[in-house]
A and B are shown apart, each in its own frame.
Chain A
Amino acid sequence: MLPLSFLLLVAVWHAAIVGSPGSLIPLPLDVVRGVGELLEQGLLVRYVVASLFRVTWGYLAGVFLAIPMGIVIGLSPRLDAALNPIIQILRPISPLAWIPIAILWFGVGDLSAIFLIFLASFFPMVVTSAQAVQQIDPVFLHAGRNFGLTKRRLIHRIVVPAVLPRILVGLRITLGVAWLVVVAAEMIAVSSGLGFLIVDARNAGDRYDLVIAGMVMIGLIGLGLDMAMRRLEQLPSTRWGFAR
């Protein structure tokens, strides 16, 4: 079904463009040629690497800070009460709204984009981790204490494995958000990457074949990232969290 619906989409696209002469939207085949042209110039690999580089560092910094912090907040009702209002106010602000401040702090360049990815990854993961801890079945914590675990061992042997399935889902969804944001950030703050490609192709003479080539690459890489993250959810020690 998947290849069939895909072929159908391409066919409808082709037919629609052929049926409306003068349209700026390119034919599917033009887009394929556009991808080929980018590959030839070495731009495609360079831009993909640039985008992935920013996502990787911003995302890793965000989640490595957010998960421990979320777990600590989840374990402590007092910390939760103190920090939750702040997080809830900052969280709905789109990372893109931070662009002016990012440029003010970090200038135009990679660091600004990485900072925006960091914000996009940090807030959802703090909230996900804290909620995951708060939703642990108290029976597990009781059983852990019954076997004489100290607070530290309890976190290591009960809390972390108990929240892992939810954290993995959070990591996957957050990576998707980070990917959305990097492309948007590149339209403003930097001069490389897939987001830059799209803006640049339009500005440099309405090359809509390259615009759509960039969009297709963004979609394919996003799908690849999501599939890679789903594989993590196959870990045997977390499958209980996904079993129906």
Chain B
Amino acid sequence: MSVPSGQVKVAIRGVTRQFPTDEAAIEVLQDIDLEIREGELVCILGPSGCGKSTLLNIVAGFLEPTRGSVTIDGEPVVGPDRRRIFVFQERGVFPWLTVTGNVAFGLDGLGAAERSERVRHYIDLVGLRGFERAYPHELSGGMKQRLEVARAFAVSPDVLYLDEPFGALDSITRLTMRRELLRLWRAERKTILFVTHDIEESVQIADRVVVLTARPGRVRRIVEIDIAHPRDLSDPRYIELRDAIFAEIGLAHQI
């Protein structure tokens, strides 16, 4: 149940990325090979500076790889695309638009009736009813993040890229947001690439966790999280997988 057996959606092949500096090129990513199946939720996990955000930006078409390629549904990625929406940390909502204006942002092509119907649906879905006319600076961090997720879902993308989306939130809000994301994901079965440095987070939500090495980022190990949702955080299997990843990264989990 937790591992969909769909066909390959995103194929990352031999992706290497260097950033030029005055001295020499710094290699941030090295030979990344990864396939993500349709409807799968994959976490890319690694220490800061390992290039996981760079990888996500390459897959989303904002950056070009130095070598290698990314294909989605067999087509090479050449730039950003409205079928695949990138969710930035809460900074991505447009502060000059209301909640409604933000959710409606990508819906120009629709008729007025369908547009307002969709806007209402997604505002409800992320629990922002009653805040339709509020501006982002009047919302909390968690609400802004939900707003950005709603804006992304509203255009019905096949793929969502989330770059440490809950990193700036407090720990309670973060837990709620994970549950909300899983609820939305189950309701609509998007393919999700989720970048995080939080081991617990990755084991709680992902079908598979891709552990990257420190710079240059390489795929160190791919861990399948074979636990059904909703996941019990005291389940021995959960603890076993979590500890395995802690060990993989070379951290004991006692403090």
Closest chain A residue, CB of each to CB of B57: A142
On whether A146 and B137 interact (CB within 8 A), knowing A137-B91, A139-B88, A237-B97, the answer reads no
A84 at the interface (CB under 8 A from B): no
Interface residues of A: mostly helix, strand, loop or mixed? helix
Taking the nearest CB of chain B, how far is it from the CB of A17, in angstroms?
A: 51
The docked-state distance in angstroms from the alpha carbon of A145 to that of B96 is 17
Check A100 for interface membership: any CB of B closer than 8 A.
no
Given known contacts A162-B96, A164-B96, A240-B136, A143 and B88 CB-to-CB distance under 8 angstroms = yes
Minimum CB–CB distance for B38 against chain A, Å: 20
| Cα A142 to Cα B94 with chains together (Å) | 12
Question: Across the interface, do A142 and B88 meet the contact criterion of CB distance under 8 Å?
Answer: yes
Main secondary structure of the interface of B (DSSP, over half): loop
Cβ < 8 Å to A, chain B residues 72-104 = 79-82, 84-86, 88, 91-92, 94-97
Q: Does A230 contact B (CB under 8 A)?
A: no
Q: Give CA–CA (A146, B95) in the complex, Å.
A: 17
Complex CA–CA separation, A1 to B74 (angstroms): 72
Residue contact B91 to A237, C-beta cutoff 8 Å: no
Which chain B positions have C-beta within 8 A of A142?
A: 62, 80, 86, 88, 92
Residue of A at shortest CB range from B96? A161
**CA gap between A76 and B77 in the complex, in Å:** 26
- B64 CB to closest chain A CB (Å) equals 14
Residue from B84, B92, B94 having most chain A Cβ neighbours under 10 A? B94
Chain A 144-179 interface mask (CB, 8 Å, partner B; 1/0): 011110000000011001101000000000000000
Contact residues, A198-244 vs B (CB, 8 A): 236-241, 243
- The residue among A147, A148, A239, A241 with the most chain B CB atoms within 10 A of its own CB is A147
| B-contact bits for A21-61, CB 8 A (1 contact / 0 none) | 00000000000000000000000000000000000000000
Residues of chain A contacted by B155 (CB below 8 angstroms): 147
Tell me if A140 is interfacial: C-beta within 8 Å of chain B. yes
| A158, B92: Cα distance in complex, Å | 12
Partner of B81, one of A139, A148, A158: A148
Chain A residues near B91: list those with CB within 8 A.
137, 139
The residues of A that contact B84 with a CB separation of less than 8 Å are 146
Which residue in chain B gives the minimum CB-CB distance to A145? B80
Chain A interface extent, by class:
20 to 34
Partner of B80, one of A146, A238, A239: A146
B159 to chain A, nearest CB (A): 11
B135 within 8 A of A: yes
A148 adjacent to B82 (CB under 8 Å):
yes
Residue contact A240 to B135, C-beta cutoff 8 Å: yes
A158 to B94 CA separation, bound complex (whole angstroms): 8
B106 close to A (CB within 8 Å): yes
Residues of B with C-beta under 8 A to A238: 96
Any A CB within 8 A of the CB of B205: no
A140 close to B137 (CB less than 8 A): no
A237 near B80: Cβ-Cβ < 8 Å: no
A80 to B106, CA, bound (A): 31
With A137-B91, A238-B96: A146-B135 Cβ-Cβ less than 8 Å? no
How far, in angstroms, from A233 to B223 measured CA to CA in the complex? 53
Residues in B neighbouring A162, C-beta threshold 8 A: 96
- Nearest chain B CB to A151's CB is how many angstroms away? 13
B105 within 8 A of A: yes
Q: Which of A148, A157, A241 is the most central at the interface, judged by chain B CB atoms within 10 Å of its CB? A: A148
Asked if B137 contacts A240 (CB within 8 A), the reply is yes
How far, in Å, is A137 (CB) from chain B's closest CB?
7
Q: Does B45 contact A (CB under 8 A)?
A: no
Name 7 interchain pairs, CB-CB below 8 A, sorted by A.
A142-B86, A143-B88, A146-B82, A147-B105, A148-B82, A237-B135, A239-B135
Other contacts beyond A143-B92, A239-B137, A241-B95: 10, CB < 8 A: A139-B88, A139-B91, A139-B92, A142-B88, A143-B88, A146-B60, A146-B85, A148-B106, A157-B105, A240-B96
